[in-house]
């Protein structure tokens, strides 16, 4: 399934990179360009990394909370389906 439609990144690509040691969103973005379009995919990408990461855990690559990293202007117009 496509996670990032803007840059054609699917869940299998994210899972593979997680198994290869990618454990932060910054590195995932660097390697795939995921989230550099509209950004709506970032929460889903983070969840996939958490589920498939072979390292100590997923982090955003900086000192901020994940929510602040994903939506630095204080929010998002995107609300995931529950």
pLDDT given at position 73: 46
Angstrom distances, CA of residue 37 to CA of 7, 10, 40, 41, 56: 7, 15, 8, 9, 28
- Going along the chain from its start, the domains and CATH numbers come out as 2-70 (1.10.10.1100)
pTM over 0.75: no
pLDDT given at position 20: 92
pLDDT at residue 18 tops 60: yes
């Amino acid at each position: 399934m496509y996670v990032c439609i803007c840059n054609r990144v699917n869940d299998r690509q994210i899972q593979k990179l997680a198994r290869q040691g990618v454990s932060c969103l910054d590195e995932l973005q660097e390697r795939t360009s995921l989230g550099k379009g509209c950004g709506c995919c970032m929460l889903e990408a983070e969840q996939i990394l958490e589920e498939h990461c072979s390292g100590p855990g997923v982090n955003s690559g900086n000192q901020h909370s994940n929510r602040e990293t994903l939506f630095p202007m204080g929010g998002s117009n995107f609300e995931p389906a529950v």
